[in-house]
Chain A
Amino acid sequence: MPALLEIRGLSAGLQGRRSVTQVVSNVDLDVQPGEILGVVGESGCGKSTLATAIMRLLVPPQVLQSGSMTLRLNEGSSYDLIKLSESELRELRWRHLSYIPQGSMNSLNPVLRVERQMTDTLIQHGLSDKEARSRSAAALELVNLEPKILYSYPHELSGGMRQRVIIAAAVSMHPTLIVADELTTALDVVTQRQILQELIGIRDELGATIILITHDMGVVAQIADRVAVMYAGKIAELGTVNGIFETPLHPYSQGLIGSIPRESGQRVEGLPGEAPSPWNYPTGCRFHPRCPKVFDHCRAQTPALQAQESDRWAACHLYDTEVAADV
């Protein structure tokens, strides 16, 4: 099956006075139709920049440097998101591409009722008032909220309900691809579980594809089909959720999964060292200063993301047959 979204060589950075500091470097990623793809990594690894780049919502000083992003829709049309104009993007957004930014539950306008905020976009996309209202009510039901919520003001709702309203608004046009950034970070565990289960329901009912950006390995393990592990602006490893959790290949993924606190009495060690910032990404493999398995080659050469076994890609010289033969 061809990928729904095919990202090739995507780079994005921050425009300085003289040069651009690259934040996301040369990302290749295929998003399969109907999957939940978890993107994980430490803070500052470029997860959110990648998400905003996919949505073409980078704002200066953020700049898109290069790459292509092919979106294939089921009616047969395909678009390179990078080449589209603002007005073409406007048509695609909400109808096909939906974005739930980090902290968006606090972005509802406090002086407008939920109804107005949900139907506004729908009316913009050509629906009648009545259609927009019934669509909004239906979307609220998808996230287990009663339609009467439409007549509430945001301050009358709890955090979990506001987050649900945002999700409902994002899915009200039945989008093909939803990008959700730290969807449940500010919520307690019970609400988090309910919302994540609702998200799975949305995928199943609407056939949507979801990219879920998170730092929480537990959330990814619970709901993702595949996982992309990001480190310092690059994808370190990509694979199925079971594969990544059971046999992580990249030493960074191994460290990340090994440092999750589990049972009491079983001591785990944290990852030593600190993640680099975009202003001082190391040469060669960007993980080499922290890597327990580093060898000379890693300091000079940047490893490419290469297919390993089935459904697995890793960017590490340890699994690079040509390099391994040299050592």
Chain B
Amino acid sequence: MSDLLVVENLRQIFGGRNQTVAVDDVSFRIPAEPTIVSLVGESGSGKSTIARIILGLLQPTAGRVLYDGADIATSGRKWNRKFRGEVQAVFQDPYSVYNPVYKAERVLKLVIRKFGLAKSKAEAQAMMEEALRAVDLRPEEVLDRHPHQLSGGQRQRLMLARVYLMRPRLIVADEPVSMIDAGMRASFLNILQDFRDSHGISTLFITHDLSTAMYLGGEIIVLYQGRIMEQGATQTVMNAPLHPYAQLLISSIPTPDPRRRWDEDLSAAPLAEIGYGARAGRDRCLFADRCPQVMDMCWGARPRLRRPKVDAVESAQRDVACYLYE
């Protein structure tokens, strides 16, 4: 069976004279078996750009995206329609995706009508109710309301109900929980896990919040300035990150446990921002100017993503782009 999604050597360059390299030769794959892949990084790391390219909203400068073996950029209309049904998006802002004039039920009805999911009105009603229950919403509390009468958590779950109606194979979720309250986050993440386990729906989860990625499990991809620094099984990477950047990022998570506080000083990362930008060009490790373990060779050429050698043993389950492990 071929992979569900393959991203090959993606590059995205914005701007004319002052070029910004948003995505710099990024490749990864989402396997056919249902899984959750988290794409994490700071703002400006290129994670949302990658999401937009995968959704077909942005034409990449170079590279391609294969869905189910076919290039999303060159496939025909009929294929596109299939793709639009099987790949669904959930965006960050649960306030701006709704038309405030219409009731919440329209979001679901529209999908049922456009994709001809139901044969009768009664069937459509039953489908909507089932979808709402799948995301822990009570139909009577939601269907007849306008968007402004729902909370952020309810709106974001309503988006998942719409996605559920489509029974897609892949959800691309761009920072879906950053604007909803802590109490509601866990239930949103649980729904994604249920979708994977009971309905075979995979998720590409884009976030800057590493604790949610940790909770979701699956695979993780750590981005920095448009490049993948480390990728692998979430548990492996989070418990023992190898790349100095991943180490810095993971040690900076505010753990919700007052008995496990940060150490006094942040050893890595001298003031990151001073001299921010592509000062020394990109033909090097981009983290070199902040890295506490920087070596001469880090400035010479870009380190490739490969299986790391730790104590001369190849570590399975992950790849790292760092000269320390070659």
Q: Contact residues of A with B, CB < 8 Å? A: 42-43, 144-146, 157-161, 188-194, 196-197, 215-219, 221-224, 241-242, 245, 255-257, 259-265, 267-271, 274-275
Contact = CB atoms under 8 A, between A and B. Distances in A.
B282 interface: no
B203 to A, nearest CB: 14
Contacts of A159: 43
Interface in B72-121: none
B214 A263 contact: yes
B35 interface: no
A189 to B, nearest CB: 4
Contact of B181 (A42, A190, A221, A267): A42
Nearest to A184: B254
B153 interface: yes
Contacts of B185: 259, 261, 270
Nearest to B233: A264
Contacts of A197: 262, 264-266
B208 A256 contact: no
A40 to B, nearest CB: 9
Contact of B153 (A193, A216, A267, A274): A274
A162 B154 CA distance: 34
B183 A160 contact: no
B217 interface: yes
B254 A189 contact: yes
B269 A42 contact: no
B311 interface: no
Interface of B: 42-43, 151-154, 181-190, 193, 208-212, 214-217, 234-235, 238, 248-249, 252-259, 261-262, 264-266, 269, 271-274, 276
6 contacts: A189-B42, A189-B249, A190-B249, A191-B272, A269-B190, A270-B185
B249 A222 contact: no
B177 to A, nearest CB: 9
Nearest to B41: A188
B186 A222 contact: no
Contacts of A268: 186
B149 to A, nearest CB: 10
B212 A270 contact: no
B208 A189 contact: yes
B190 to A, nearest CB: 6
Given A194-B269, A256-B182, A262-B215, A245 B208 contact: no
Given A216-B254, A222-B255, A190 B272 contact: yes
A196 B154 CA distance: 32
Contacts of A224: 258
Contacts of B154: 274
A215 B186 contact: no
Given A197-B262, A217-B256, A218-B211, A188 B235 contact: no
A245 B181 CA distance: 18
Given A160-B272, A262-B215, A269-B187, A192 B182 contact: no
Nearest to A258: B186
Contact of A263 (B153, B215, B272): B215
B257 A189 contact: no
Residue in A194, A223, A264 whose Cβ sees the most chain B Cβ within 10 Å: A264
B320 to A, nearest CB: 19
Given A189-B252, A193-B254, A224-B258, 5 more contacts: A43-B152, A189-B249, A215-B181, A221-B255, A275-B151
A200 B210 CA distance: 23
A125 to B, nearest CB: 29
B252 A192 contact: yes
- 9 tightest CB-CB pairs across the interface, nearest first? A218-B254, A270-B187, A261-B215, A271-B183, A264-B217, A188-B42, A158-B273, A193-B252, A270-B186
B9 to A, nearest CB: 26
B208 A215 contact: no
Nearest to A271: B183
B271 A144 contact: yes
A256 B212 contact: no
Contacts of B212: 261
B248 A190 contact: yes
A271 B184 contact: yes
B254 A256 contact: no
B214 A192 contact: no
A158 B276 CA distance: 8
Contacts of A259: 182-183, 185-186
Contacts of B181: 42-43, 215, 275
A192 B269 contact: no
Nearest to A269: B186
Nearest to B245: A190
A267 B212 CA distance: 12
Nearest to A217: B256
B259 A242 contact: yes
Contacts of A160: 272-273
Given A144-B271, A222-B261, A263-B214, A189 B187 contact: no
